[in-house]
Structure 1
Amino acid sequence: MRNEDPRPIRLKDYQVPAFDTHEVMLDIELDPKATRVHATLKMARNPASTDKKAPLKLDGEKLKLLEVKIDGEVLGANRYSVDEESLTIHETPEGDFTLETVTACAPEDNTALEGLYLTDGIYCTQCEAEGFRRITYYLDRPDNMAVFRTRITGDRKSEPVLLSNGNPVKKGKTKDGRHFVEWHDPFPKPSYLFALVAGDLGHVEDKFTTMSGREVTLRIFVEKGNEDRCAYAMEALKRAMKWDEERFGREYDLDIFMIVAVSAFNMGAMENKGLNVFNDKYILARPDTATDADYAAIEAIIAHEYFHNWTGNRITCRDWFQLCLKEGLTVFRDQEFTSDMRSRPVKRISDVRLLRAHQFPEDGGPLAHPVRPDSYIEINNFYTATVYEKGAELCRMIHTMAGPKRFRKGMDLYFERHDGEAATVEDFLNALADGAKLDLTQFKRWYWQSGTPEVLASGRYDAARKTYTLKMSQVCQPTPGQRVKEPFHIPVAVGLVGPDGKDIPLTLDGEEKPGAKTRVLHLTGREGTWRFKNVPEKPVPSILRGFTAPVKLDANLKERDLVFLMKHDSDSFNRWEAAQRYATNLLTRMVEAAKDGSTPRKGTAFAEMVHDLLSAKKIDPDFVAQIILLPSEQTLAQIIGQDVDVDAIHTAREALRLAIATHAKDALLSAYARMEVTGPYNPDAADAGKRALRNACLGYLAAAPGDEGVRLAAEQFRHATNMTDSIAALSVLSHIDCPEREEALATFHERWKDNHLVMDKWLAIQAMSSLPGTLDEVKRLTQHPAFTMKNPNKVRSLITSFASANQLRFHDAKGAGYRFVADKVLELDKLNPQVAARLLGAFKSWRQFEPKRRKLMQKELKRIAGTDGLSRDVYEIASKTLA
C-alpha cells in the first residue's frame, strides 16, 4: 500500500497532559527475547488540564501487554484498548490512583536502538526522544516529570553489572539464582532521561569533591579490556565538574556519577540523570589508538553531557519544540569550556566552520526551520545543526550583549526560577532579560524566524573631518513557510585598523572619551549608520570580530584590504576570515575560468602569507594550521550556490594547492621539520597544535611536484608513535595512486583489525579518497568483516563519509554515487530509521548542482519518497527535500 501522509505535530496545539505521574516503580527482569517490565505508576488528573473527562492514554510501541491493574484490581479487556502506539484506559478513579502494567519486549530484536536493546551482550537504553514507550506504557513526554525507583534483575554471570539512574539503594540475590539492584533517583525527571545498562562490564573509579565539600564517586564502565583507555575521559569529567562550579555555580547533586561506553549507539552520547550513556568512540583513548581530534572530542562531549545535569535535567524542556533550550544552551556551555581548556581563537574558528558547513546549508534549503520549530512529523529529525549549533550562537549573542557578569546573573536567575521544572524558551529569555537587565523583545525573533540574515557593510572615510562612517543593512531570504522576515537584533563587533596595522580607539559621535578598540554595534533595523570621530588616517574596517552573530557578511572589502587584514588584524578570527575570503574569491574565479577556458589571476598573496607565517620566529602553531588551510570543496559549492560543477571545483582547488606548495616549499619543509614533537605523547593544546601544523604542511608537500611528499608521508606513517601522525600520513597517501598507499592501508589493517574504533578510521579514510575507483572500493568494503549495517558508527564511517565528505566521488556525473547511497538509505530504513534519515541528508542541497546532477539526485529522492512502508523519519526528510 502507499504511504499515508503522517500528521504533523504542531507547537500551537500544545496542551498540558490530562494526567500527572508522581512516582514510578519499575521492576525489570532482563531476558534477550522477553524482558518483563512491571511498571507501577502513582498518578492523578492534572489540575491544570481543561479536559476533565479525557481517558488515560499512554504511549507504547513494540510491546506485548500482559496485565493491567488500577489500585490493585485487574482490568478486564472491556475497560481498556490497545493499538500499535498506545494503551487507553477508558475510566480512571477520581483523585490519586495507582496504575500497574506488565509488558514484555525483545531487546535482541531491536535494531533501531531506541528503547531497550541488546548489543554485544550488553543491555542498553536510549529513550530520547521517544524511546521509553518501547520499554513500558507511559505518558512519554518531557513535561510529565516523576521520581523513579528502578529494580533490575539479571543473570549473575552475564549481567553482573546492573545500572540505572540515581543512587543505588538495595541489592541482593533472587530465589531462582539471579540477582538484582535497586536504584532511586530523588529528582523528578521526564521519561526520556531514564537509563538502564546491564552486562559484564569493567570499570574505572575516581572521586570528586564538590565546592560544598561533598564527595562524589565517579565511575566509567566499559567492555572488559578497555579500562586502560578511560584515563583521559575521567580527567576530562573532573575538569568539567570543576569548571561548571566556577563558571556557573553548578554543583553535582547525587552521590555517584556514572558513564557507560557502548559500541552501538545512534548518538554521540546521552545525558540520562546520573548515568550518561556514550558512544564508545567518545570515551576510549590511548595515544596509539586515538588522534588529537579524538581527545578533544572526548573532552568536549564529556563536558556537554555533564553540563546537561543542570541545563537539560534539573531544568528540562516542556515539549520537544523547546529542544534548543537544553541543546543550544548546553552546546554554548561546552564551547566555552573547550575555549578555556584549549585555544579560544582556534575553538571559535572550529565552531564557525561547523556552523557554515552544516547549519547554513540547512537554513538555505528545503529543510530550513527555526531554532524553535513550529511543527514536526518525527522529532528525531530535529536534532539538527539549527537546534544545536545555531541555538548555541543565540546564547553567545546574549552573552556578547550582556557581558560575562550580567550573563551569569541571568543564568543564576534562570536556575533559581525553574529548577525542577519543564521550561520554555520564553522562560529562559525572560530570566536572562531580568537577570542581565536586557531588552530581548526583538532578539526573540531569532528563535521564531528561520534563515541566515545577510549583512551588507560599507564605510566612508572623511579625511577633512577625521571621521569614519559605517553603514550596515540586513536582509533575510524567504524560507519554507516564512516568506516575510522582520529585522533581527544583530550584535556586530567592529574594529578599525590603521595603516600601521594597529587598532584605532573607537569614539562615536556624541562621546567625549575614546572607547575600546573593539565595539559591539547593534543592528536592529533594516539599516543602521554609525560615525566614528578622531580617526587620524583611513582605516580598514574589521567587522564581525569573533563572529558575534550567525550571519553572512559582505563587508565590501577589496583584495588589498583582505591581504592587509590577513597580516595585521588583531582579532584572530577575522584574520583567519580574511584569509578564507581571499582564498574563496580566488578559487571561485578559478572555477569560472575552468568552465569557460580563460586564465584567472594567480593571486600569490595567499601563498606568500603561507610562506611568511611558516617562516616567522614566533607563531601559534594551531592557529597557523587553521589559517593556511584552503576552504573545502563542500564550502566552495555552498558559496557558489547554483549550477555547481564539482569537477571544476576540485580542479581549481588542486591547482591552488599546487601553486602554494610550489611557492612555499622551502618554508613548508622547514616547518614540517621544526614542528616534530619528540618525547611522550601529550594531547594538550600545545603539542596538538604542533602536530596539526606539521600535518598541514605534509598535506601541501604531497601536492608539490615530485615524489618528496609521498616519501615523507610514507616515512611518517612507518615511524609514527601516535595515531594522530599515523592517520594524517595515511590520509595524505589515500589520495595518491602509488604503491605506498596500498602498503600503508594493508599495514594499518593488519595492525588494527581487532580494534573496531580504529577500523572505523580505516574505513572513513578510504571512503573519502579522491581517486576514481573510490565508489567501487566503498561497495567492496560493505562486505568487509569490519563493516555492518547494524552499527551506526560503521555506517557513518563508510557510507556517510562517502556521501557527505567526498563531494567529488559522491557526485559522480553518471549518478552511480547517488544510486548507491539511495539504496543504502532504503536498506537502513528497515533496520534503523534514525540513521537512514541522517544519511539521506546528503541529498539536501540537490538543487544547487548543475542540471544533469540535479536531475539524477531528484530521481533518487523521488524513488525513496515513493517507496512503500517508509518510516516517518525518512518520509519526512525525503518529502521536505523534494518540496
Structure 2
Amino acid sequence: MTQNLPKTHYLTDYQPPAFEVESLFLTFELLPNGTRVTNRMQVHRVKDLSAPLVLDGEGLELIQVDLDGVALMPTQYDVTDTQLILPDVPERFELEIVTEIDPENNTRLEGLYRTSGNYCTQCEAEGFRRITYYFDRPDVLTYFTTKIIADKQDNKVLLSNGNLVEVGDLPNDRHYAIWKDPYKKPCYLFALVAGNLEEVEDTFITRDQRQIDLRIYVEPKNLDKCEHAMESLKRSMKWDEERFGLVYDLDIYMIVAVDDFNMGAMENKGLNVFNSKYVLAKPETATDADYEGIESVIGHEYFHNWTGNRVTCRDWFQLTLKEGLTVFRDQEFTSDMLSPAVKRIEDVKRLRNNQFPEDAGPMSHPIQPQSYIEMNNFYTMTVYEKGAEVVRLYHTLLGEAGFQKGMQLYFDRFDGQAVTVEDFRNAMADANEIDLAQMHNWYTQAGTPTLKVEKHFDAATGTLTLHCEQSLKGQSAHAPLLIPVLFGFLNDDGRALPVRPGENSRNKVFETEKGHLLKLTTLSETFEFTGLSQEPHLSLLRHFSAPVNLEYAASDEELMMLASHDADSFVRWESIQTLALKNIEDNVARFQAGNGMVFSEHYQQAFQAVLEAKGLDPALKALAIGLPDLPYVFEQFETIDVDAVLQAVEYQKAQIAQTFSGALDKAYLAHCSKKAYCYDKHDMAARMLKNQCLAYLAYGAEPVVRAVAQYEQQQNMTDVLAALNALNHLAVSEREACLSDFYERWQQDTLVMDKWFSLQARSESEQALQDVRGLLEHPDFNYRNPNRVRSVLGVFGRLNMKAFHDASGEGYALLAEEVLKMDKINPQVAARLVTAFTSWKRFKGHRQDKMQSALQHIAADKALSKDVYEIVSKSLE
C-alpha cells in the first residue's frame, strides 16, 4: 500500500477562495513534447489579508514567474509537487506564469494531451493544474481568452472556448487563433483542441431568431458518420427551448470526437470534447443502442450549458447538482424522442444493475459525498443516476409546472454563480411555497432504502389499510426520507378500482398528473382507504416513483395478473421480472440442496401472456420477457454462490427456449424486415423483440440456424451484433467463422473493433480466460485507449460472471495484474477496473479468499495511485 497516505478532503473543510481572478489570458505554443503555456491573470484579494497566494499545479516544468511585470527570483516563491506558493502579494496584481508540458507522453489523458496526432484537453475534475498553475477549484470563475499558436501543417484547426475573435499567419509556416469566452467559467470548463480535423457544418435558428453555427470536428475518415450526431444536437437545442425555455448563448457550438478519452464526453463551454463512441454512427457500424446513446450524450452535454456551465458547482462535493440534474434532463429528452415507458424501464435497469450494487458495497456514498481522496472516483452511478432519481422526486412531488417554476427561480437567482445542492432545493421550495427540507436526507445518506408495504383488508367495512415502513440496510438510526409512492388499485381483471383515502389519510394521499400518490415522511406510517367493494390488487411504485427496494408479499397469481394487465408499464415489467427472479432464487436453493430444478407455472403463464399480448409495444415485450440481468440477480443474495446462480439462470433460459420455441420463432419471423435501417422507435422496438427471441432460440434445439442466417444478411449492425451475441455462448465452428469474418470486415474501424473485443471478453466458453489473455496480446489491443481497455478488461470483470469468477481464481489474478499495469498508464481507467473486486466479502467460500488475495496483491504496490488506493483500501477495510 502507498506509504505516504493520500490526503482526505472533507465537505466540512470548505473555505471560500481568498482571491478572485478578474480575467485570464492563456497563450499556447503547441509542440508535441514541449508545449509552452503562458498564463497571464489579473487577480485581487477578497479576504485573509495576510494569506499567501497558493496555486495548484502538477507535472509542470516552471519556466518563469512575473509579478506586475517583474520577474521573480526562485527565492521569492515556493514550488512543491502540487503547488506554487507566493508568500507575499499585493491586494491587486497581474501575475504571469510560464510553464512547459509534454502532451505526447501524457497517458493519463488529463490536462493537455495528444491523441492520433491531435491536441486535446480534459480538465474536469482537476486536470487544469496539469496545464498551468492556477486556482483549480470550481468556485473561481473568470473570463478566459485563449491564443493558440501551432504549425499549420500539423494543426489545420485551432479551437477553444467562446467565440473566435482573431486569426492570423506567423513566420515559419505557423498560425494562430484567439478565442474569447464572454461568460465567466471555472477552469474545469476550459478546452483546447488542435490538429488536422475535418468539420461537418450546419446551423440552428434560436427562438429569438439568432443563427448559431454548429460544427462537428472529426478525423477525415469519419466524415460520413456525423449525420445522426448533428441531428441529435439540433433536436436537443429545440427541446431545451420548448421544455425548459433555455436558449443557447454563444455564436457557435462545436463538438470534437476523439478516440482516446477517459469519459463519455465533456461540456466545456462552446467546445464539447466527446469520446468518438458518442458521436460516430451509421447503420453499418452502429447499433440501436449506439444511436440512442449518441442522442442521449449529445443532449446531456448540450443541456449542461445551463445546468453546469451558466450555473456551476461551488465545490466538487456538489457534483450531483449539475450531473444528477442534467442526467434527469437527458433522460426526459430521450423519453420524449422515443418511448417514455421503455426509456423509464431501461433507466431503472441501469440503476439496479450498477448503482444498487455500488450502494451496497464498500464505496457506498451519498449523492453528495462528505469526503473523498481522489475526486475522479466520485464520478459514479450514485452521483449521476441516483442523483437523477432524486431530481425526479422533485418532479413527481411538484408536477411539471411546479418543477419548471423551481427551475426558473434557480436560474434567476444563480446565473453566473457557483452554488450548492441546498441552493437548488431552496429554489424548488420557494418557487412552490412548500417545505422541502426533508429532501436533504436523500443527499446525505448512503444506501438504497427499503420500502416495506403490508396490506390488510376488512371486507365487512370495505376498508384497506396499508402499513409502510422505510429502512436503510445496516443503519439502525437514519433520518426518514420523503418517499413518494405512485400506486393504483386493480380488480381481478386488471381494471382500475376507485381510490378513496380515509379521513386520517386525506392529507397524505394526492391525485397527481401521474396518478395517485402517497407521501411517506416518517419511518413508519399507515394509510387507510375506504369504500371498496372487493379486496384490490396493489399496483405499487408505479413509474418507479422512488429509488427504493420494494418489499411487498404479492402472490404469484397477483404478479401474473399485474404482468398481464397493469396499465402502468413499469409495474407490468416489474411483475414478470419478479416472477422470473423468484423462480431463479428457488432453483438456486434447489441446486444447493442437490434437488432438480423446476420451471414456474405462473412465470410461464405470464411469459406467454406478454409475448402474445395484442397491441403491446414490442419493445416492452422484449424487456418483459428478458430475464433480470446477472448483476441484479447477484444482488439478491447476501452470500453469492456463483455456480448455483449461473446454473439456475442457464436452466431458465433453456426452459424458455424449449417451452416457447414455436411462439418465439413466430414472433421472430413476424418482426423481421428487409427495409433500410431507420432510427425510429417503431423499427427499434421490432428489432428489440426480434433479437430477444433470437437470443432464446440460441438455447433451443437448433441454436445456430437463425443466428448464422441473420449474421450473413449483414442488414445493419444491430442485427449483426445480435446474431453474434446469440452465437457467443456456443462452442461451434460457426461462432469462430462469424467472428473471423467480422474482423476482416471491420479491422480498420476502431469503434466496431471495440465490439469485436467485447464479444469475446464476455463469452462464457470453457476457454474464456485463455481468450482474454489472447485479446490482451492482440496487435489491435492498445493500453493507451480507454475504450479498448474497457472493451476487454472492463467487460471481463463486470459482465463475464462465469470466467471472471472461475473457481481456479485465475480470473481474479489476471485482472489484478492488469489493474497494476494500467495504474502506471492511466489511473482513472485502472480505478474503474478494480471496482470488480469491491463486493468480494459477499462471495461464498474460496472465491472470497481469492478475491481478497487479489486485492491485497494490488494493495502491496508501493507506487499505487491515489485513484486505485482509495478503492482498494476501502474494499479491504
Bin of the TM-score, shorter chain as denominator length:
over 0.9
Q: After superposition, where does 1:403-442 map in structure 2 within 5 Å?
A: 403-442=399-438
Which string of whole-angstrom CA distances, capped at 9 and with x for unpartnered residues, describes residues 233-276 of structure 1? 00000001011111111100000000000000000000000000
Shift of 1:569: 1.1
Q: After superposition, where does 1:718-729 map in structure 2 within 5 Å?
A: 718-729=712-723
Give the letter aligned to residue 722 of structure 1.
Answer: N
Equivalent residues of 2:394, 2:403 under 8 A apart: yes
Q: Does residue 832 in structure 1 map to residue 826 in structure 2?
A: yes
Equivalent residues of 2:55, 2:134 under 8 A apart: yes
CA distance in 1, matches of 2:616, 2:577: 19
Q: Does residue 165 in structure 1 map to residue 161 in structure 2?
A: yes
CA distance in 2, matches of 1:452, 1:234: 38
- In the alignment, which residue of structure 2 is the partner of 1:771? 765
**Cα 1:577–1:2 shift into 2, 3 Å:** closer
CA distance in 2, matches of 1:515, 1:272: 42
Give the SS at the match of 1:474. strand
Give the SS at the match of 2:39. strand
Equivalent residues of 1:457, 1:472 under 8 A apart: yes
Give the letter aligned to residue 838 of structure 1.
Answer: R
User: Please, which of 853, 874, 882 is the counterpart of residue 876 of structure 2?
Assistant: 882
Shift of 1:599: 3.3
Give the SS at the match of 1:703. coil
Shift of 1:363: 1.1
- In the alignment, which residue of structure 1 is the partner of 2:847? 853
Q: After superposition, where does 1:570-585 map in structure 2 within 5 Å?
A: 570-585=567-582
Shift of 1:601: 4.3
Q: Does residue 195 in structure 1 map to residue 191 in structure 2?
A: yes
- In the alignment, which residue of structure 2 is the partner of 1:499? 492
- In the alignment, which residue of structure 2 is the partner of 1:70? 67
Q: After superposition, where does 1:211-250 map in structure 2 within 5 Å?
A: 211-250=207-246
Q: After superposition, where does 1:352-371 map in structure 2 within 5 Å?
A: 352-371=348-367
Q: Does residue 748 in structure 1 map to residue 742 in structure 2?
A: yes
Give the letter aligned to residue 552 of structure 1.
Answer: N
TM-score, structure 2 normalization = 0.98
Shift of 1:811: 0.4
Which string of whole-angstrom CA distances, capped at 9 and with x for unpartnered residues, describes residues 568-590 of structure 1? 11110011001111110110010
User: Please, which of 655, 669, 675 is the counterpart of residue 671 of structure 2?
Assistant: 675
CA distance in 2, matches of 1:773, 1:461: 56
CA distance in 2, matches of 1:615, 1:544: 26
Equivalent residues of 1:303, 1:337 under 8 A apart: yes
Q: What is the CA RMSD across the aligned residues, in angstroms?
A: 1.4
Give the SS at the match of 1:323. helix
Give the letter aligned to residue 677 of structure 1.
Answer: S
Give the SS at the match of 2:607. helix
Q: Does residue 487 in structure 1 map to residue 483 in structure 2?
A: no
CA distance in 1, matches of 2:2, 2:604: 57
- In the alignment, which residue of structure 1 is the partner of 2:708? 714
Q: After superposition, where does 1:319-334 map in structure 2 within 5 Å?
A: 319-334=315-330
CA distance in 2, matches of 1:212, 1:111: 44
TM-score, structure 1 normalization = 0.98
CA distance in 2, matches of 1:203, 1:484: 57
Of 771-780 and 430-439, the range deviating more from structure 2: 430-439
Give the letter aligned to residue 778 of structure 1.
Answer: V
Give the SS at the match of 2:184. strand
CA distance in 2, matches of 1:300, 1:514: 33
- In the alignment, which residue of structure 1 is the partner of 2:147? 151
CA distance in 2, matches of 1:825, 1:290: 29
Q: Does residue 814 in structure 1 map to residue 808 in structure 2?
A: yes
User: Please, which of 562, 574, 577 is the counterpart of residue 559 of structure 2?
Assistant: 562
Shift of 1:515: 5.8
CA distance in 1, matches of 2:613, 2:86: 75
- In the alignment, which residue of structure 1 is the partner of 2:27? 27
- In the alignment, which residue of structure 2 is the partner of 1:733? 727
**Cα 1:514–1:299 shift into 2, 3 Å:** closer
CA distance in 1, matches of 2:536, 2:594: 38
CA distance in 2, matches of 1:869, 1:264: 25
CA distance in 2, matches of 1:882, 1:40: 46
- In the alignment, which residue of structure 1 is the partner of 2:793? 799
- In the alignment, which residue of structure 2 is the partner of 1:277? 273
Shift of 1:211: 1.1
Shift of 1:663: 1.4
Give the letter aligned to residue 487 of structure 2.
Answer: V
CA distance in 2, matches of 1:547, 1:780: 43
Which string of whole-angstrom CA distances, capped at 9 and with x for unpartnered residues, describes residues 547-594 of structure 1? 111111101111111111111111100110011111101100101111
Equivalent residues of 2:556, 2:602 under 8 A apart: no
Q: Does residue 684 in structure 1 map to residue 690 in structure 2?
A: no
Which string of whole-angstrom CA distances, capped at 9 and with x for unpartnered residues, describes residues 705-740 of structure 1? x22x31110010001310000000011111100011
CA distance in 1, matches of 2:537, 2:613: 24
CA distance in 1, matches of 2:81, 2:417: 31
Shift of 1:478: 3.3
Equivalent residues of 2:66, 2:72 under 8 A apart: yes
Structure 2 alignment gaps of length 5 or more: none
Give the SS at the match of 2:255. strand
Equivalent residues of 1:608, 1:663 under 8 A apart: no
CA distance in 1, matches of 2:595, 2:474: 35
- In the alignment, which residue of structure 1 is the partner of 2:610? 613
Give the letter aligned to residue 478 of structure 2.
Answer: K
| Equivalent residue pairs, number | 873
CA distance in 2, matches of 1:457, 1:87: 58
Which string of whole-angstrom CA distances, capped at 9 and with x for unpartnered residues, describes residues 295-323 of structure 1? 00000000000000000000000000000
Give the SS at the match of 1:173. strand
Shift of 1:484: 2.7
Q: Does residue 116 in structure 1 map to residue 112 in structure 2?
A: yes
- In the alignment, which residue of structure 2 is the partner of 1:456? 452
**Cα 1:182–1:601 shift into 2, 3 Å:** same
